[in-house]
């Protein structure tokens, strides 16, 4: 398998921050990149999913329309709430990326998929599949406030948040 490319998502968070300083909040990323896209962006959808992979799977099973799912696993490092099968669902349903406040698994395969994936770390144990979680609630991770309907831009320089779209493909 070959590594996915970022050709459809050519932008620079640094350039966006320079050109729109009053429209963005910038953050150093507390996450590691695991997906095939190292740069991605889109409208934010959120879900809480403490040690439960079910809510992440449920959301990624729906049309993504270029959105980025922020899955708040409460920072738990005990289990993974995203793996290769769920990431493939996301690719097939048009999600641009997933940001996980917790762990992922199946890292070798994740790196080959055309989706951005950020997470705190990796662990081979999958979380439960109970489907217990709250959708579209404000999520704060490492001091970064992700709001459903806002926009996130991610690349090697970090994360930018905005209330409106800053970049068109």
Residues of the binding site for Mg(2+): 106
Q: Which of 131, 96, 144 is nearest to 117 (CA)?
A: 96
Contact between residue 72 and residue 141 where contact means Cβ atoms under 8 Å apart = yes
Distance CA 151, CA 35 (A): 19
Contact between residue 91 and residue 64 where contact means Cβ atoms under 8 Å apart = no
Which amino acids are annotated as binding site, given as ranges?
A: 83-86, 105-106
Which amino acids are annotated as binding site for substrate, given as ranges?
A: 83-86, 105
- The alpha-carbon radius of gyration of the chain (Å, integer) is 14
């Amino acid at each position: 398998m070959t590594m996915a490319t970022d050709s459809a998502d050519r932008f620079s968070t640094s350039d966006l921050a320079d050109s729109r300083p009053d429209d963005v909040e910038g953050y150093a990323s507390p996450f590691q990149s695991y997906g095939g896209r190292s740069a991605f962006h889109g409208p934010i959808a959120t879900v809480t999913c403490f040690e439960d992979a079910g809510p992440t799977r449920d959301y990624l099973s729906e049309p993504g329309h270029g959105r980025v799912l922020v899955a708040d696993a409460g920072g738990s490092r005990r289990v993974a709430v995203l793996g290769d099968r769920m990431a493939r669902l996301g690719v097939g349903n048009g999600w641009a990326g997933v940001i996980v406040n917790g762990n992922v698994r199946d890292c070798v395969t994740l790196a080959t998929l055309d989706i951005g994936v950020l997470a705190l770390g990796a662990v081979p144990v999958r979380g439960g599949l109970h489907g217990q979680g709250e959708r579209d609630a404000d999520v704060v991770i490492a001091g970064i406030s992700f709001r459903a309907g806002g926009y996130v831009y991610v690349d090697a320089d970090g994360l930018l948040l905005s209330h409106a779209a800053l970049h068109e493909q």
